[in-house]
């Protein structure tokens, strides 16, 4: 392991193993920790020190991998040591689209990046409302919200029908999803005055995700999403290592003829949709959100607020959101959910178009936790450092911080 790796992991080991104050984690008995009570996660601290000493390979081929295989075997999992040793991570190029002169980036499949970019492409075919319609109370134009909801329902159906491990997808599908003529065809099928009947979704709802954006003094940006899924993942925590095991891979079909069917060595689709914006070819904003089904929808609303509305970063992150969501497991995304901070005319305009509107809480956690870092002034030749703006979602317990 490099010295930098070892120092970083050793620092985390001290925090988790001996110095952590965790006010909202839970004891095995179910009683919440009291604010200020010290929690010592000794097993996890030892595991982090193992990683600091042996390097990251310990997790997939070394001592931690051997322990993981033994624990998962006795817990009923089919994962074995050979599975861990044969795991590979791929470096891939981001996919992108142009949204009114700004380059929007996200991940390739098996993420939902293509769906977020497809949604932007569809919205780009319509004339946006005037900049004054983008406010701290959200978009005041019911037509724009209606178009976003209708486009979201179409793209969710495309996600279910076409996305999976890129090696399993039909050739040309990714290019078709991001094609301008395809976006125009979808847009022409959307009635600006009436909500259409949505297609049923074939996948379960997502959850259990965090988002983080960060930047360095040289103007580098990172947009990162991590997910244990199902709130607490699989619910399995190895008492010897303190490792909690995720079940993020649960987004699959058991229909062998479906593109997203479960198969060995296959990475089935997931909802994680990190984003980044470039302006004039230079990094501008790292952004993203947790939120399962609605991640691409939050993605598009944020980009539209920044580009169409020209609002500041904090307003784009905190403004009320809309979402096309499912009412029941595997049902159609027929719900239209609004945070009640929208002006009343938005809900009235949607109901007049046939939407069945329901209201979330004013700052509802279920509407996503979006965060963003903006390079306000990029670094200049001669060593001038960049300046930044950062915003964290008031729906979450995040924190914008400069270190």
Catalytic residue IDs: 209
The continuous run of DSSP H or E covering 139 comes out as strand 138-139
Residue with tokens 């029941």: 328
- Burial of 391 (C-beta count, 10 Å sphere; 0-12/13-18/19+): buried
Give the integer Cα–Cα distance in Å for 166 and 108.
8
Which helix (H) or strand (E) element contains residue 126? none
HSE (CB half, 13 Å, CA atoms) of 107? 24
User: Which letter does DSSP use for residue 380 in this model?
Assistant: B
Long-range contacts of 115-118 (CB under 8 A, 24+ apart): 115/155, 115/156, 115/158, 115/159, 115/163, 115/177, 115/273, 115/296, 116/273, 116/275, 116/295, 116/296, 116/299, 116/300, 117/177, 117/178, 118/155, 118/158, 118/177, 118/178, 118/182, 118/183
Quickly count: other Cβ atoms within 10 Å of residue 291's Cβ.
27
β-pair partners for 356: 335
Strand partners, 324: 336
Q: Give the span between the Cα atoms of 338 and 20, in whole angstroms.
A: 38
CA 298 vs CA 32, 154, 234, 378: distances in Å: 31, 16, 26, 26
**Contacts with 90 (C-beta within 8 Å, 6 or more apart), sequence order:** none
Retrieve residue 6's tokens: 């070892």
Provide the pairing of β-strand 134-135 with 138-139.
antiparallel
What are the contacts of 256-261 at 24+ separation with CB within 8 A? Answer: 258/202, 259/161, 259/162, 259/163, 259/164, 259/168, 259/169, 259/170, 260/160, 260/163, 260/164, 260/168, 260/203
């Amino acid at each position: 392991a490099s010295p930098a790796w070892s120092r970083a992991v050793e620092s985390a080991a001290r925090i988790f193993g001996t110095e952590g104050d965790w006010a909202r984690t839970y004891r095995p008995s179910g009683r919440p920790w009291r604010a200020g009570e010290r929690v010592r996660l000794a097993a996890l601290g030892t595991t982090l020190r193992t990683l600091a000493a042996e390097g990251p390979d310990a997790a997939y081929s070394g001592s931690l991998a051997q322990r993981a295989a033994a624990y998962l075997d006795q817990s009923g999992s089919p994962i074995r040591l050979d599975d861990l040793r044969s795991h590979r991570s791929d470096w891939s190029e981001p996919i992108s689209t142009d949204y009114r002169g700004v380059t929007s980036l996200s991940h390739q499949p098996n993420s939902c990046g293509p769906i977020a970019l497809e949604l932007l492409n569809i919205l780009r075919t319509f004339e946006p409302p005037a900049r004054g319609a983008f406010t701290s109370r959200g978009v005041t134009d019911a037509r724009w919200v209606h178009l976003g909801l209708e486009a979201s329902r179409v793209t969710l159906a495309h996600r279910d029908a076409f996305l999976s491990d890129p090696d399993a997808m039909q050739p040309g599908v990714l290019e078709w999803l991001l094609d301008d003529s395809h976006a125009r065809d979808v847009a022409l099928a959307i009635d600006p005055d009436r909500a259409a009947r949505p297609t049923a979704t074939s996948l379960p709802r997502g959850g259990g995700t965090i988002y983080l954006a960060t930047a360095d003094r040289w103007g580098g940006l990172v947009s990162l999403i991590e997910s244990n899924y199902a709130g607490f993942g699989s619910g399995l925590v190895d008492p010897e290592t303190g490792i909690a095991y995720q079940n993020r891979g649960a987004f699959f079909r058991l229909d062998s003829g479906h593109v997203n069917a479960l198969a060995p060595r296959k990475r089935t689709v997931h909802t994680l949709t990190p984003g980044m914006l470039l302006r004039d070819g230079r990094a501008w904003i790292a952004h993203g959100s947790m939120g399962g089904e609605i991640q691409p929808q939050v993605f598009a609303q944020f980009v539209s607020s920044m580009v169409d509305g020209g609002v500041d970063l904090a307003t784009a992150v905190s403004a009320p959101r809309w979402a096309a969501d499912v009412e029941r497991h595997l049902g159609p995304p027929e719900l239209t959910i609004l945070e009640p901070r929208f002006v009343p005319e938005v809900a009235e305009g949607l109901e007049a178009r046939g939407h069945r509107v329901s209201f979330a809480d004013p700052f509802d956690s279920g509407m996503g936790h979006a965060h963003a870092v903006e390079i306000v002034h990029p670094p200049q030749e001669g060593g001038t450092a960049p300046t930044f703006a950062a915003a964290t979602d008031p729906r979450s317990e995040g924190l914008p911080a400069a270190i």
